[in-house]
Chain A
Amino acid sequence: NAGVMQNPRHLVRRRGQEARLRCSPMKGHSHVYWYRQLPEEGLKFMVYLQKENIIDESGMPKERFSAEFPKEGPSILRIQQVVRGDSAAYFCASSPLGDGNTIYFGEGSWLTVV
């Protein structure tokens, strides 16, 4: 059973460009979570989604950031007009419905804004 798959693993963007990070949850998982880890800081919750539904986006910055989890395909975290402060590791996680809802993480996508 493949784990949570994230791509790209590393992404370099110039200031003002858009960054798209993709996450495929584990098979059978219907919940997806995105976290951000700034350099030398802790993991911060950003958003929690189910298929076609944002459940909790209390950790998302109000501007430039959006997330979706369509009926088909991976979850996407989109950052528009990136700035240097967006440079961070972005982790996706997934959990099943029921089964204790244990959350499993991917290996992360490292965004560098130059």
Chain B
Amino acid sequence: DAKTTQPPSMDCAEGRAANLPCNHSTISGNEYVYWYRQIHSQGPQYIIHGLKNNETNEMASLIITEDRKSSTLILPHATLRDTAVYYCIVRGNSNSGYALNFGKGTSLLVTP
């Protein structure tokens, strides 16, 4: 799987949008971009994933650049409960399944 690079930490004011960047310059054509987060002492939580089109769900939006070498996860209105470590993971996708390889992620602190 392609490697990803994320800033180690970010701050965001409550109610503002949190934009978390991720570089994945070695991504290959059949690899997806996945985002997970881990709130302290809890299991990782799936947020969103995409291949090349932008995606949106009830939790977040995922913007993938046209060359697919980077992406941004957007939490539109951050709350204190969004404080967590956010992981950007590139993963192949097929019926045989692929494990996720977690890096260090970005520690997001949402402040009042």
Contact = CB atoms under 8 A, between A and B. Distances in A.
Given A48-B99, A105-B44, A107-B43, A100 B49 contact: yes
B111 interface: no
Interface residues of B, number: 24
Contacts of A55: 96-97
B43 to A, nearest CB: 4
B93 A45 contact: no
B45 interface: yes
Interface in A45-87: 45, 48, 50, 55-56
A97 B104 CA distance: 28
The 3 closest A-B pairs by CB, nearest first: A105-B43, A43-B102, A105-B44
Interface of B: 32, 34, 36, 38, 41-46, 49, 93-105
